[in-house]
Amino acid sequence: HENEIAQVESVTCKTFARHWFHIAHLMVEGTKMSKSLGNLYTLDDIRARGHTAEEVRYVLLSGSYRQPLNFTFDSLKAAGKALKKISDFSSRIEFRDEENRIELATRFGPFQAVQDAILNDLNTADALGKLFGLMRELSEAWDKGDFQQNQEAKQSLHEGFRAVLDLFGFSLKQKVQAEVPEDVISWAKERWEAKQSKDWVTADLFRDKIQQAGWIIKDSKDTYELSKS
């Protein structure tokens, strides 16, 4: 690193890096990720399975940079549920972020413990844990009316939550629920047609493919509905 700093800073006359991180190999389902093993997934591969970029971000934040990260598709599903809780909390406290906001929020207010965890060796996993603990406490306080009659406290709550979103890079402007992949939509249509023709074997085949892709199909009298599993 000393050589890299010497080379770059002598040319640019600017600080090259303030922090250096040595990271371990990424594990996938308990095995080292490797193209030769066929367990190398790109972001496009993951999105094709119905997951979002924010779910990937959440999974990466849930581990420590000092420890190997074991990436699993179950962890992506759990991330989707966690992000849904964050989105639900924002609705509960009547949070509305400004559109086209440029400056990052820095006042954490009642969420100060989240920032403190980050400042303690970049402990993102602990910070997320602190966030959910605080969301439970603040939801209870909100339901009791502690914020509605105190505009200063309500503003501090909203500013702190905005700072948390900026800290983790979460955006509630994006849909937490993933869009249904085109292949899943196609399978669902073919399954429905098979059911109408009473071709139960084919219908079950497409149902299984849909489930393996991480989706659930629910039938009603005249139509069906797809949702993430």
44-65 pLDDT, tens digit each = 888 888 888 899 999 999 998 8
Q: How many structural domains compose the chain?
A: 2
Residue 7 lies in a domain: no
In which domain, by residue range, is 86 found? 41-168
**Are both 128 and 215 inside the same structural domain?**
no
**Are both 110 and 45 inside the same structural domain?**
yes
**pLDDT computed for residue 149 by the predictor:** 82
- Pairing type for strands 70-71 and 215-219 reads unpaired
**Are both 99 and 203 inside the same structural domain?**
no
pLDDT exceeds cutoff 70 at 99: no
User: For 88, how many CA atoms within 13 A lie in the half-sphere containing its CB?
Assistant: 11
**Are both 113 and 222 inside the same structural domain?**
no
Picking from 117, 133, 168, the residue at the C-terminal end of a domain is 168
Stretch 112-134: mean pLDDT: 96
- 31 secondary structure, DSSP code: E
**Are both 148 and 209 inside the same structural domain?**
no
Residue 17 lies in a domain: no
pLDDT in tens, 148-170: 889 899 999 999 999 999 999 99
**Are both 152 and 199 inside the same structural domain?**
no
> Residue 65 burial (CB < 10 Å; 0-12/13-18/19+)?
middle
**Are both 104 and 217 inside the same structural domain?**
no
